Structure 1
Amino acid sequence: MSNTPPQGSEIKIDTLNGHQHILVPHGKGGTMRYFIGLFLLFWMGCWFIGFTIAFSQISSGEGDAFLIFWLGGWTVGGLFAGYMIYRVFQKSIPEQLLLNRPSLSLDTGVPPLKIDFGMHSQKDYWKSIFPKRKRIEFTPSELKTMELRETDNGNRLTIDKGAERVEIATGATEIEREWLFGYLQRNYSIQVN
């Protein structure tokens, strides 16, 4: 098996602090998100007009309790829309693996916002909107749990960290994950179960 990623792969291998450093891009996220981003930018213009009118009425003493309540909800909606605009146009940060033997360091990076109307669970939807960047250090004994698992949706490359099963190279293709599995096995002398 080759020490270079498969032909056409966007995976990059370089050196960081004297250790092999692998960058696995998360993908593009699709063009639908830009249409939603443009809509939200237009909506924020309208939001600003509504906010300005309501705030000026309350400031002049003409606003009642309902307008104050409405302005509070409008403000929360504007903050959420502003965050969504940020997520839509936020540049993706690739997943990174640092082969600092005998350990392996993982930085999950930040995937782009993916608009998928077919998401099967609310949990997956909220995780895509509010991604958590994790930095995980795998010990040699944890690396022995590395496995390429076949599922109905393709393969998954995983390493167990305590009670958590951590998925590696989530943005990679199946062929790239197979290559990465072999590459890590060779570099850490891990035997296949």
Structure 2
Amino acid sequence: MRALVAALATLLIASGGVLLGTAPAFAHDELVSSDPASGSTVDALPAALTLTFSGDLLSDASTTVVQVTDASGASLTDGAPTVSANVVTQPLTGSASGAISVAWRVVSSDGHPIAGEFAFTSDAAPVATPTPTETADATPEATATPEPEMTTLTTPTPTSDQSAPIWPWVVGAVVVLIAIGLVVWLLGARARQQKQAASERTAGRSNSTER
């Protein structure tokens, strides 16, 4: 009887360990790689930048932002980024050289926004600016090119946290209830056996007295 109770106690402890082991905090997705890679040097600006993440992303246009700028702050993006499962593709334009900065923001499939930035270098030869020829007419004043405005990345508030799966708790609860039921049944059976043994001893004494 004691051995059986000890075995049930061990089962309860083991089921508790399973529950604790199957309910860790869920890690959010992260950037796994990029092309061009962070810190790399390329011969020329590629036609597109790709970002690969550890999990699938939300594909809504408003949840994915990619900014690619050259050393002067001019934007090199060509249209909006596209999302396919865990890969973001941002078309690029121009022939910029020097340091290229990348800032990105995406939303994981669990609703949590993540953002980051990195840089790479382009060795493309700068485009030469033609020198204007002198003419008899007065040269008009050059119009200043406005500085491109950088869009501030705002991190949206996550709509809701993804709930942890409940099946480990259901399994654990069933195991605990079964174990409790076995303990109650064993204790009841033991009590009945003791009562029956006591009755048999009493009957034996009565028979001895009558003889």
Q: Which has the larger radius of gyration?
A: 2
TM-score, normalised relative to structure 2: 0.24
Give the structure with the higher percent helix: 1
